Amino acid sequence: MTHTLPALPYAYNALAPYIGEETMTLHHTKHHQAYVDNLNRLVVGTQFEGMSLEDIVKTAPAGGIFNNAGQHWNHNQFWTMMAAPSEQTPTGALMDSIVKTFGSFDDFKTKFEATGLATFGSGWAWLAQNADGSLELMSSSNAGNPLQHGKNALLGVDVWEHAYYVDYRNRRADYLKGFWSVVNWANVNDRFNG
């Protein structure tokens, strides 16, 4: 199996001004493309050649193959978890579960932002769902993700500097606040097992 870069489901300028066209273009065509290319190169002649991306993420040991597969998978999720700026919010059973777990939607947003701010160095902040249906916030370093731990990734935000430095410089907190305007809650709702 050759791993390929998926097209974005929107234009490179669609998330502006919260995430600008230059960031999206570099992030997709350079950073994400590099993970795909590295993964295709590294799996040749290994047990991971021909394996699905999900299975590689779930089974590869720490190292180059996991790092590039994890980042390929993470970015595939991240692009679809965003959409053009809107006033969307979670709905139905997902909203009920968020309120039950975190106190309110605003409390959830505060705790999610804090998870992203507390992620040291490069990594991701996630809202994940456990097998028993419960929700939890997760911070993962580098290419880590909920999938490698058998959890369902509902919402994730890339807090590598390449995700925000052009638009926000070092102000990760402002990037995380802006992120709410481009969350595709319809996609997150679809991921939720309610």
- Decide whether 58 or 162 has the Cβ nearer to Fe ion: 162
In whole angstroms, the minimum distance from the beta carbon of 126 to Fe ion comes to 14
- Decide whether 77 or 97 has the Cβ nearer to Fe ion: 77
- Decide whether 40 or 122 has the Cβ nearer to Fe ion: 122
In whole angstroms, the minimum distance from the beta carbon of 104 to Fe ion comes to 30
Please check whether residue 82 is in contact with residue 88, taking contact to mean a CB–CB distance below 8 angstroms.
no
In whole angstroms, the minimum distance from the beta carbon of 74 to Fe ion comes to 7
Q: Per-residue b/e over 127-158, b at no fewer than 16 CB within 10 Å? A: bbbeeeeebebbbbebbbbbbbeebbbbbbbb
Interacting residues of 32 by C-beta distance below 8 A, sequence separation 6+: 5, 71, 72, 75
Q: What residue is closest to Fe ion based on CB? A: 158
DSSP designation for 183: B
Residue 158 binds to Fe ion (criterion: CB under 5 A): yes
- Name the segment binding Fe ion (CB under 5 A); options: 33-41, 139-147, 153-161, 184-192: 153-161
Residue 167 binds to Fe ion (criterion: CB under 5 A): no
- Decide whether 57 or 94 has the Cβ nearer to Fe ion: 57
- Name the segment binding Fe ion (CB under 5 A); options: 18-26, 60-68, 146-154, 163-171: 163-171
Rounded-to-integer distance, Cα 133 and Cα 192, Å: 9
CB-CB neighbours of 67 under 10 Å: 18
DSSP designation for 2: -
Positions in the binding site for Fe ion (CB under 5 A): 158, 160, 163
